[in-house]
Structure 1
Amino acid sequence: FLISLSFTHTETQMIMVDLRYLFVIILLCLGIKVLIQAINANRFRNKLPLPPSPIALPIIGHIHLLGPIAHQALHKLSIRYGPLIYLFIGSIPNLIVSSAEMANEILKSNELNFLNRPSMVNVDYLTYGSADFFSAPYGLHWKFMKRICMTELFSSRALESFVSVRSEELRSLMIRVLKKAEAEESVDLGEELKELTSNVITRMMFREKQPSDSDVCGKREEEVIKMVVELNELAGFFNVSETFWFLRRLDLQGIKKRLKNARDRYDVIIERIMEEHESKRKNVAGTRNMLDVLLDIYEDKNAEIKLTRENIKAFIMVNFLLKLV
Structure 2
Amino acid sequence: MSVTIAGRPVGPGHPVYVIAEIGLNHNGDVNLAKRLIDVAADAGADAVKLQKRTPELATPAHMRDVERETPWGTMTYLEYRRRVELDREQYIEIGDHATLRGLTWFASPWDEPSVDFLESLNVAAYKVASASVTDLALLRAIGATGRPVILSTGMSTLEQIDAAVAALDADDRLIVLHATSTYPMPAEEANLRMIPALGARYSGVPIGYSGHERGLQISLAATALGATVIERHITLDRTMWGSDHAASLEPQGLEHLVRDIRIIEQALGDGFKRVQPGELAPMAKLRRVGA
TM-score by length of 2: 0.24
- Structure holding more helix per residue: 1
Rg larger for:
1
- Structure holding more strand per residue: 2
